Amino acid sequence: QVQLVESGGGLVQAGGSLRLSCAASGRTFSSYAMGWFRQAPGKEREFVAAILWSGSNTYYAASVKGRFTISRDNAKNTVYLQMNSLKPEDTAVYYCAASRFGAMSVMDIQKANEYDYWGQGTQVTVSS
């Protein structure tokens, strides 16, 4: 069993930055693929970014590519999402997720149902 706890959300003006953290319990964190998803009010949960177990491969949604960076520190059991140049449309609850499949295809890694564990979410609000 893996428990995920997100932190770092908050209110920021458009153009600003935030860094989200996701701390994971469990000794097998380094073998998990990790992802970030978000859900805005009235919308479906959508893929934001993901990183394979080794950190060698990262994937991004087109809407955040070039602005967001996902990274992980396996020694600290933590995955990060650095968000720059934030826009009002980035406003959402951001969720961290873990998959027991450390290496997935580029299609599968974007699917929420490929992830086994989820955090409680952290609110990000970007004001215009």
Strands (E) in the chain, as ranges, are 4-7, 10-13, 18-24, 33-39, 46-51, 58-60, 68-73, 78-83, 92-99, 117-118, 122-127
CA dihedral for 102, 107, 110, 113, sign (positive or negative): negative
Q: Is the dihedral of CA 2, 122, 90, 8 positive or negative?
A: negative
Cα separation of 97 and 119, whole Å?
6
DSSP 65: B
pLDDT (tens, 9 = 90+) of the chain, 128 residues, equals 889 999 999 999 999 999 999 999 977 888 899 999 999 999 999 999 999 988 889 999 999 999 999 999 999 999 999 999 999 999 999 999 999 987 888 899 999 999 999 999 999 999 99
Q: Which two tokens stand for residue 90?
A: 């980035």
